[in-house]
């Protein structure tokens, strides 16, 4: 029992000595990540999927409110593609992949200079059935799922950029 306790404390000391810091911690140096994200204004994004992405980004980037004097502007452009994934014997598609691709630019407060740029992608699949209503509902659900994943990926990339 004493050996296990000593081993546990030894591991804890090693982990503490390695310099590990959580990305979003307020008590660490990376509180600058939270501050920089909070100073980012997300420009409107075209389309319904763009609205979903923007709303989730707003929740992640500046959950308290929109910044009054933003240091950065985030501009996002989204492209949506549908691809037939499975073809049955009657030569009709019964499963689709929905791919959302986003190219984004982090601009300075004037909106003229690019500070950082990147891209993100999210893929969701949905089944095609005989009901048009079910197909529409499945496609909308895939759009929403992809939009959420896309916004999380953009948020993650921005966090890593600001942590440098």
For residue 39, is it within any domain?
no
34 within a domain of the structure (yes/no): no
**40 belongs to a structural domain:** no
Residue 54's pLDDT is what? 95
Q: Which domain holds residue 101?
A: 45-163
Q: Could you report the per-residue pLDDT of 120-131, keeping only the tens digit for each? A: 999 999 988 888
CB 163 within 8 A of CB 23: yes
> In whole angstroms, how far apart are CA 30 and each of 17, 20, 36, 116, 164?
17, 11, 10, 18, 9
pLDDT of residue 75: 95
The predicted pLDDT at position 30 comes to 67
Is 28 part of a structural domain of the chain? no
Does residue 33 lie in a domain region? Answer: no
Residue 87 lies in a domain: yes
Q: How many domains does the chain have?
A: 1
pTM, rounded to two decimals: 0.77
Residue 62: the pLDDT is 80
Residues of the chain with pLDDT under 50: 26-29
Residue 18 lies in a domain: no
CATH number of the CATH domain containing 79: 3.30.160.150
Other Cβ atoms less than 10 A from the Cβ of 74: the count is: 23
Residue 14: what pLDDT?
65
Whether residue 5 lies inside any domain: the answer is no
CB 98 within 8 A of CB 146: yes
Apex CA 52: angle with CA 48 and CA 55, to 5°? 130
Q: Which DSSP symbol is given to 162?
A: H
Residue 105: the pLDDT is: 96
pLDDT at 27: 44
């Amino acid at each position: 029992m004493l050996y296990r306790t000593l081993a546990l404390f030894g591991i804890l000391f090693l982990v503490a000595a390695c310099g590990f810091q959580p990305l979003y911690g307020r008590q660490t140096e990376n509180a600058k990540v939270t501050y920089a994200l909070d100073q980012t204004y997300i420009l409107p994004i075209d389309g319904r999927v763009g609205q979903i992405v923007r709303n989730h980004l707003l929740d992640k980037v500046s959950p308290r409110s929109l910044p009054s004097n933003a240091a950065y502007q985030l501009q996002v452009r989204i492209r949506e593609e549908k691809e037939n994934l499975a073809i049955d014997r009657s030569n009709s598609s019964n499963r689709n992949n929905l791919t959302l691709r986003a190219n984004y630019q982090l601009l300075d407060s004037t909106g003229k200079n690019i500070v950082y740029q990147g891209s993100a992608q999210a893929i969701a699949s949905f089944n095609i059935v005989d009901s048009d209503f079910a197909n529409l509902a499945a496609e909308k659900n895939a759009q929403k799922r992809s939009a959420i994943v896309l916004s999380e990926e953009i948020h993650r990339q921005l966090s890593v950029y600001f942590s440098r």
